[in-house]
């Protein structure tokens, strides 16, 4: 299942967030954020592990108080995923979580306070091997910038980011990444394009307050997707009013669609019509749920009839096309192989996918590449 991307990524410096490289030629990292009470250690650890299982590379945790900072230390001991601590205003919280093993501090240096306080945070980050993420948001721009520009605009977001970057650079700190988020897609995209031309640091992409699962997915796909298509972005977070695991899945679907990363089963399916030989919608829903545990990159086509079914099936590892009288054709590596009856189809397809995934992981098979030259 070869899917080389035609996208040329922007050249950026590489930093480390824990053991995850960010920027340079590293894979684009997928991030999400916990929504549990950080002081509830067990609930937060459980959620982080669920986010990790969904495929996230990095997780952000809000740390609004010193009590939460102490809880963060206990959380850090129980999870392996790199953690970003989300901190505002109180620089002492940043100092404490740095001691407790945080991998990245999400701050706005401008709201930490005096230059000396920023210097303290930078010294703590250096001493403990932490990166810093500068998070500029259209909803919380500095008062002087709002007075200067009249309203949030790309120029204001970029100027805010550059001001924050200078605060870190003045203290000889360069292990940072930057986000310039907005809920307005046009505003965010323009700000990221401008910032990408002005700096060489890694950029963290997001459309903030994007909305619910459907609306937020569409909005984020347009905003983040257009930036990724332009080669901009080193980490992404899809902000949804939905469970964090959903954010991760949507993020990976974006990257898979653009050929920038692969993970799990890429499903090709039709929208269904009256020609369908089986219930395509319910079948795809069931297959996606039952194949969530597959991490191996591979492809599956599910087409309800023979109009486009054979053509799509020739491009995937495993394919199923609807036929008459409850009898459907199964394709393996693009070639017709055998028939399956409706009542056995779901279990049969799941079994085939699991077997192919196991073979790929064992090195006895490879994901199907329909464009590879046939061996002589």
326 and 351 both lie in a single domain: yes
Report the distance separating Cα 296 and Cα 356, nearest Å.
9
**CA end-to-end span of the chain, whole Å?**
20
8 is a domain residue? no
Q: Which pLDDT band holds residue 1 (cuts at 50, 70, 90)?
A: very low
Beta bridge partners of 33: 60
Query: What is the spatial distance between Cα 23 and Cα 12, in angstroms, rounded to a whole number?
Result: 6
For 167, residues 6+ apart whose C-beta sits below 8 A from its C-beta are: 109, 110, 115, 118
User: In this model, does residue 200 exceed pLDDT 60?
Assistant: yes
**pLDDT bucket at 371, cuts 50 / 70 / 90:** low
CATH of the domain at 38: 3.20.20.20
- Cα–Cα distance for residue pair 104/213, rounded to 1 Å: 27
Q: What rounded mean pLDDT belongs to the chain? A: 93
pLDDT value, residue 163:
93
Q: What are the pLDDT digits (tens) for 235-258?
A: 999 999 999 999 999 999 999 999
Tens of pLDDT, residue by residue over 57-88, are 999 999 999 999 999 999 999 999 999 999 98
Number of domains in the chain: 2
Question: Do 310 and 236 fall within a single domain?
Answer: no
| Among 237, 257, 277, residue at a domain's last position | 257
Q: Please say whether the beta carbons of 152 and 186 come within 8 A.
A: no
Contact present, 94 and 130 (Cβ < 8 Å): no
CA 134, CA 112: separation in Å to the nearest integer?
12
Q: Read off the pTM.
A: 0.90
Domain with 165 in it: 15-257
Instruction: Judge if 286 and 311 occupy the same domain.
Output: yes
CA dihedral 258, 264, 266, 267 (to 10 degrees): -150
Per-residue pLDDT of 256-277, as tens digits, reads 999 999 899 999 999 999 999 9
Question: What is residue 375's predicted lDDT score, i.e. its pLDDT?
Answer: 41
304: CATH: 3.30.413.10
Do the domain assignments include residue 52? yes
Given pLDDT bands bounded at 50, 70 and 90, which one contains residue 368? confident
């Amino acid at each position: 299942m070869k899917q080389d991307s035609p996208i040329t990524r922007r050249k950026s410096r590489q930093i480390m967030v824990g053991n995850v490289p960010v920027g340079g030629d590293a894979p684009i990292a997928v991030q999400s954020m916990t929504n549990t009470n950080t002081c509830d250690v067990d609930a937060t650890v459980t959620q982080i592990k669920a986010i990790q299982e969904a495929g996230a590379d990095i997780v952000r945790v809000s740390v609004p108080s010193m009590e939460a900072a102490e809880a963060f230390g206990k959380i850090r001991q129980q999870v392996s995923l790199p953690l970003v601590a989300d901190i505002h205003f109180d620089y002492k919280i940043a100092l404490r979580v740095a001691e407790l093993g945080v991998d990245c501090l999400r701050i706005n240096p401008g709201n930490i306070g005096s230059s000396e306080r920023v210097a303290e945070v930078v010294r703590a980050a250096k001493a403990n091997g932490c990166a810093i993420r500068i998070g500029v948001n259209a909803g919380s721009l500095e008062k002087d910038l709002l007075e200067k520009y009249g309203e949030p605009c790309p120029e204001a977001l970029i100027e805010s980011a550059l001001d924050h970057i200078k605060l870190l650079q003045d203290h000889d700190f360069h292990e940072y990444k930057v986000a310039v988020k907005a809920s307005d897609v046009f505003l965010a995209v323009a700000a990221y394009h401008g910032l990408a031309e002005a700096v060489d640091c890694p950029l963290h992409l997001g459309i903030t307050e994007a909305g619910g699962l459907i609306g937020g997915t569409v909005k984020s796909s347009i905003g983040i997707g257009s930036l990724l298509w332009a080669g901009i972005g080193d980490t992404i977070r899809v902000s949804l009013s939905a469970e964090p695991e959903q954010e991760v899945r949507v993020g990976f679907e974006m990257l898979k669609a653009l050929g920038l990363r692969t993970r799990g089963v890429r499903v090709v399916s039709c929208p269904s019509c009256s020609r369908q030989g089986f219930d395509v919608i319910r079948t795809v829903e069931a297959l996606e749920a039952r194949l969530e545990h597959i991490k191996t990159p591979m492809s599956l086509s599910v087409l309800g009839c023979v109009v486009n079914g054979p053509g799509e099936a020739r491009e995937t590892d495993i394919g199923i096309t609807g036929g008459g009288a409850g009898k459907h054709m199964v394709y393996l590596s693009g070639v017709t192989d055998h028939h399956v009856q409706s009542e056995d189809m779901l279990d049969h397809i799941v079994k085939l996918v699991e077997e192919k995934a196991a073979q790929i992981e064992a090195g006895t098979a490879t994901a199907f590449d329909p464009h590879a030259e046939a061996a002589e």
